[in-house]
Amino acid sequence: MVASPVVLQAPPLSGGVFSASFTNAPGASFRAVSTTNLSLPLVTWPVAGSVTEVAPGQFQFTDPQATNTPQRYYRIRWP
């Protein structure tokens, strides 16, 4: 069973790139969705990119497109 991700860190990177890391069950599959408008239903948020398992149970998402949007909200989803 996949538990809800817990964000360990989301430090700003140079040039406005966004990155977040979290832990979960090894081998789990996730995707990141984002929006600039929190009033939109979650099902309408577009996929922002894939989440990479960088070590067993340690996941990372990086959004280089964040530099094009001054305010963006993210959510990690799993199937």
16 — alpha (psi -120 to 50), left (phi > 0) or beta? left
22-73: per-residue pLDDT in tens? 889 999 999 999 998 999 999 999 999 999 999 999 999 988 877 777 788 8
Q: Is residue 53 packed enough to be buried (19+ CB in 10 Å), middle (13-18) or exposed (0-12)?
A: middle
Domain ranges of the chain: 6-22+29-77
Q: Taking the model in full, what pTM does it have?
A: 0.77
Secondary structure letter of residue 70 according to DSSP: S
Tokens at 41, concatenated? 């239903």
- Given a cut of 80, is residue 4 above it in pLDDT? no
